[in-house]
Amino acid sequence: MRYSRSSLNSKIRILFLNPPHPLKDALVSQRQIPISLLSAIKGVAKLSKVEIMILDLTCKNDMKKIDSVLSNFSPILCGITTMTYNYISTVKLINYLKSKHPRLKIIVGGIHANIAKEEIFDTSLADYICIGEGEDVLKEFVLNDLQADGLDGIMSRDEKGNVNFRRTENIDDIPPYELIDINNYRDTFFPLLTQRGCVFKCAFCSMGRNLVRFRTEKSVLEELNYLYRNGIRNIFISDDTFNLNLRRAKSLLEKIIKEYGNYFNLMVNLRGNSIDSELAKLLKSAGCKRAFIGVESGSNKILEIIEKGEKTEEMAAGIKELIKRGIETSCSFIIGLPGETSKTVLETIKYAIKLNPDIAVFNVFIPFPGTPIYEDEKKYGIRIHDKKWYLKGVPEKPIVSTADLNPKEIQHHVAMCYKKFYNRQK
């Protein structure tokens, strides 16, 4: 982002930061358009009295750059987005900013700020937390001379109290891509969100039980057109479940095919039990290169415990359709969920091999704060050995025991899953 000296005098300058991934070697693989930030600032970016700079530290974790921005750009407000995984990096970043500029006001938003709001002020030096969606409230906060009182959606350190979750009225605006240098991201997949929220309630997930809202087809197509005009071909439809509404998903794909054929290289997250042959065909025609499916387990008993709302047989039918059409299929499993035993792990491996996707990822179960499993270990029959893992970084080893398996055994099972799956006879 460029800035000119002349404009610095009159404007309210705000610096937005995407924190680095806590694991150094994840720097490149995690680089992605900072879509949460670009969404949060849609409103404030329209204000003529505001000057914005975005630094994506997943691109380059460059403290010298921050120093230079602090002295040359002199922001009065800094906004940081945070997830649970990178909360530790966020805390370090805030401490650094405050040590250099104690008077700089800092607002934190994003999924973890909402999940752990009570804790954010205790564990960091942040001044404000955005509760909910940032689009409208951030703009109002700036127009209100950075006063949070009376604003739903912003909690301040001085006046904690109950603040209502804020939802934005309009989810159709295109993210202000002009505020970042998209050339830094040409080798990644550009996120395209066509909807928000999720009706399902998987007990391990931070996103479930959330009001669902769909963008208009017109606005989705406008965003695609913007990306097309800027020479972007790789697009990740990042909706949690693109086929949440099957009819809508098909209609969108038809429009994409009509307009662009298979020009785009699409990636997409799908729900296994809601894929039919028509959807698979349309995805293929629209240029879908890879589909991600959260399968989680090969045991119907575990799927029931985690309230997945779909069965192995149903998912298998959907995944078969994708494979039939030659779409690269990536299935993700979680090992160590409540109810996991050596027997259920074997069921998962057998199931994964039977599905025969191109890619299978076997994740260790890490409980996220705010999710049903994290909040009620007893009900789910597990023990979380380190509940505050996110204050230390990303756990390198499993931190959960089920009734039957300890963390060491879970780790051993994950390794075995990979070995058996990738050594399978095709």
How remote is the C-alpha of 340 from its chain's centroid? Answer: 26
From 331, 184, 194, 192, select the one nearest 266 (Cα to Cα): 192
Residue 359: other Cβ atoms inside 10 A: 13
Residue 397 CA to residue 416 CA, distance in Å, equals 15
Q: What are the residues facing 193 on neighbouring strands?
A: none
Span of 20-28, 52-60, 203-211, 407-415 interacting with ligand SF4 by CB under 6 A: 203-211
Angle in degrees, 0-180, between the axes of helices 277-285 and 312-324, rounded to the nearest 10:
40
Span of 23-31, 196-204, 340-348, 364-372 interacting with ligand SF4 by CB under 6 A: 196-204
Q: What are the residues facing 329 on neighbouring strands?
A: 291
Instruction: Output the CA angle 13-16-17, nearest 5 degrees.
Output: 145
Please select the residue that binds ligand B12; options are 84, 124, 312, 348, rule is CB under 6 A. 84
Does residue 208 bind ligand SF4 (CB under 6 A)?
yes
From 5, 75, 82, 84, select the one nearest 44 (Cα to Cα): 75
Does residue 39 bind ligand B12 (CB under 6 A)?
yes
Does residue 243 bind ligand SF4 (CB under 6 A)?
no
Span of 25-33, 140-148, 201-209, 226-234 interacting with ligand SF4 by CB under 6 A: 201-209
- Asked whether 367 and 389 are in contact (CB, 8 A), the reply is no
Q: Which residue is nearest to ligand B12 (CB)?
A: 109
Does residue 21 bind ligand B12 (CB under 6 A)?
yes
Contact letters for ligand SF4, residues 257-296 (x by CB under 6 A): -------------------------------------x--
**Smallest distance, Å, CB 252 to ligand B12?**
17
Does residue 198 bind ligand SF4 (CB under 6 A)?
yes
Residue 104 CA to residue 269 CA, distance in Å, equals 39
Does residue 249 bind ligand SF4 (CB under 6 A)?
no
Nearer to ligand SF4, 289 or 308 (CB): 308
- Asked whether 109 and 168 are in contact (CB, 8 A), the reply is no
Nearer to ligand B12, 139 or 325 (CB): 139
**Smallest distance, Å, CB 263 to ligand SF4?**
28
**Smallest distance, Å, CB 309 to ligand SF4?**
8
Does residue 200 bind ligand SF4 (CB under 6 A)?
yes
- Asked whether 275 and 355 are in contact (CB, 8 A), the reply is no
Q: How far is CA 149 from CA 14, 99, 113, 155, in A?
A: 20, 26, 18, 8
Does residue 130 bind ligand B12 (CB under 6 A)?
yes
Write out the binding residues for ligand SF4, residues 292-331 only, by CB under 6 A.
Answer: 294
- Asked whether 197 and 209 are in contact (CB, 8 A), the reply is no
Residue 351's binding partner out of ligand B12, ligand SF4, none, with CB under 5 to 8 Å set by partner kind: none
Instruction: Output the CA angle 100-103-105, nearest 5 degrees.
Output: 105
Span of 43-51, 157-165, 202-210, 412-420 interacting with ligand SF4 by CB under 6 A: 202-210
The site that binds ligand B12 (CB under 6 A) totals a number of residues, namely 36
- Asked whether 152 and 169 are in contact (CB, 8 A), the reply is no
> Which positions touch ligand B12 (CB under 6 A)?
21, 30, 32, 34-37, 39-40, 79-81, 83-86, 107, 109-112, 115, 130, 133-135, 138, 168, 191, 193, 205-207, 238, 240, 368
